[in-house]
Structure 1
Amino acid sequence: MSDSARPRRRYDASGRRTRAAENHARIIAAAAELFLERGYTGSTVPAIAERAGVAVETVYRAANGKAGLLAAAVQSALAGGPERAAVPVEEREGIRRVIDQDDPRRQLLAYAATQPGVWSRVGPLLRVLDEAAAGDEELANLRLAHAEQRYTGLRRFASLLAERGALRSDLTIDRAADVIWTLCAQSTFESLVTARGWTHRQYREWLGATLASALLEDPAPAAHAGSSSP
């Protein structure tokens, strides 16, 4: 049989994509670990590559430099992992639970339930970003983009409440988004949980009840509200 007649081995594109995804996940995880251990300035691309067990060139292909790695680490932490970060926000499981709730108060309780996990995962990385952004324009823009992304999502949430006729009559969508922005801020979580020692359950129950009281036309009494204070 001639060489031209030999059957060719099928190229395994799916296997290559799987390996690339695994490398990408390791790189983002390694970058996040080093940023938290050494800060932004103290973390180098070669060190990230060594921690991830890949070549330096592979790290550069995974993100646009060190700032891109921090941006990817933040998005991964927000979503709960790099695989989830690739899913559009409104299709993620936790957000779908909020959107699909018919009762507005239960929507707010479901949203409040997402916050302890979000801030526990992403808060430390955002502190790294805040510290580094003071002297780096690219990182300052990244911090601004993260804030704009968060506000856009909160405004969509406020719009959903308004469409369902649930918002108080004296609240505009923008004002409602401002209220959610403030009550659900990282600083609020850290003040109550990190500094004052509230449990995640106490925090989320307080947050759900407070959001309902501040936003809804006719909020129902908060279940177990009296037990949510530490």
Structure 2
Amino acid sequence: MPATSKSTAPQASGPGAAAADPALPKANRRVAQAADTRAHIVATAGRLFDANGYVRTTIESVAAEAGVALQTVYNSVGNKAALLSAVLDAAASGPGARQVLELMQERTRNAPDRGALMVVLADWFVEVHQRTGRIMTVISQAAAVDPDVAALEQHRALQRLERYHEAAAAVRERGGLTSGMTDGEAAAAIWSLGHPQTFRALVGSAGWTVEAYRDWILRALTAALA
């Protein structure tokens, strides 16, 4: 990675970039401009990863396509693995750009009973896998050639497992897990059933429709967490 230099990131241009509001205080305008620049770089990287794959997508090509200096990419996002991680975050968050953890906590709180919570989980897996499927494939392929991406893939898998402890606790609060399953075991069941590779195998390789996958995972989660 090039040494960090003190430079001002140019205002992002292109899809998804917005001009900073001149009515904002100067410091806030700089923050807004930096956020727009970062979002523009991440969106550009996502398109290049999708079109060219991980190996052929370089930091230099991202910078050139985004119309920013090379150092701006490093300053705004980080190295190539960090770009991939940011693209995954953006894909998982979706158009509203809400943090996934915050979004799922809200949906979980609003589920009135165990059946509704199973629907929340099933619908989420359908939603997130369709948005992140392509970038997850890039990550899986890149992990074989880049140790940083392999570490990223492992970290994200363990992060998902940890976060599903909250879902398991919510199931228990709504009368589930009566078989004696612990919250940790329930989190592992949610994690394995909703794993991105399972979605890719069933929908991408086995030819299942998304609707068939959704029906299956709803039944599987309900049976596993009863």
TM-score bracket for this pair, using the shorter chain length: 0.7 to 0.9
CA–CA distance in 2 between the matches of 1:192 and 1:144?
22
CA–CA distance in 1 between the matches of 2:52 and 2:196?
22
1:90 counterpart residue number: 101
Pick the structure with greater CA Rg. 1
- Alignment partner of 1:12 out of 8, 26, 29: 26
1:31 to partner: Cα distance: 0.8
Kindly indicate whether residue 180 of structure 2 is the aligned counterpart of residue 158 of structure 1: no
1:68 counterpart residue number: 82
1:51 counterpart residue number: 65
Kindly indicate whether residue 209 of structure 2 is the aligned counterpart of residue 199 of structure 1: yes
Please give the root-mean-square deviation of Cα atoms over the aligned residues, in Å.
2.2
1:11 to partner: Cα distance: 5.4
3-state SS in 2 of match to 1:49: helix
CA–CA distance in 2 between the matches of 1:138 and 1:193?
28
CA–CA distance in 1 between the matches of 2:143 and 2:199?
22
CA–CA distance in 2 between the matches of 1:76 and 1:82?
10
- Alignment partner of 1:142 out of 152, 170, 183: 152
1:27 to partner: Cα distance: 0.5
Q: Structure 2 vs 1, CA of residues 65 and 42 (structure 1 numbering), >3 Å: closer, same or farther?
A: same
3-state SS in 1 of match to 2:31: helix
- In 2, are the aligned partners of 1:49 and 1:59 still within 8 Å (CA)? yes
- Alignment partner of 1:38 out of 37, 52, 57: 52
1:111 counterpart residue number: 121
Unaligned runs of 5+ in 1: 1-9, 217-230
Point out 4+ residue stretches in structure 1 off by more than 4 angstroms: none
Q: Structure 2 vs 1, CA of residues 95 and 114 (structure 1 numbering), >3 Å: closer, same or farther?
A: farther
Spell out, residue by residue over 1:161-181, the C-alpha distance to the aligned partner (whole angstroms, 9 max, x if none): 123432132322222122212
The amino acid of 2:64's aligned partner reads E
Q: Structure 2 vs 1, CA of residues 130 and 194 (structure 1 numbering), >3 Å: closer, same or farther?
A: closer
Unaligned runs of 5+ in 2: 1-23
1:107 to partner: Cα distance: 0.4
- In 2, are the aligned partners of 1:63 and 1:69 still within 8 Å (CA)? yes
The amino acid of 2:101's aligned partner reads E
> Structure 1 vs Structure 2: percent identity of aligned residues?
35
The amino acid of 1:61's aligned partner reads N
1:28 to partner: Cα distance: 0.5
2:92 counterpart residue number: 78
1:115 to partner: Cα distance: 1.2
1:29 counterpart residue number: 43
CA–CA distance in 2 between the matches of 1:25 and 1:99?
30
Spell out, residue by residue over 1:115-141, the C-alpha distance to the aligned partner (whole angstroms, 9 max, x if none): 122112222212222222223222221
1:147 to partner: Cα distance: 0.6
CA–CA distance in 1 between the matches of 2:92 and 2:78?
19
3-state SS in 2 of match to 1:102: coil
- In 1, are the aligned partners of 2:108 and 2:170 still within 8 Å (CA)? no
3-state SS in 2 of match to 1:171: coil
Spell out, residue by residue over 1:23-48, the C-alpha distance to the aligned partner (whole angstroms, 9 max, x if none): 11110011111112222221111211
1:123 counterpart residue number: 133
1:202 to partner: Cα distance: 3.1
Q: Single out whichever of 97-106 and 21-30 deviates more from structure 2.
A: 97-106
3-state SS in 2 of match to 1:167: coil
3-state SS in 1 of match to 2:204: helix
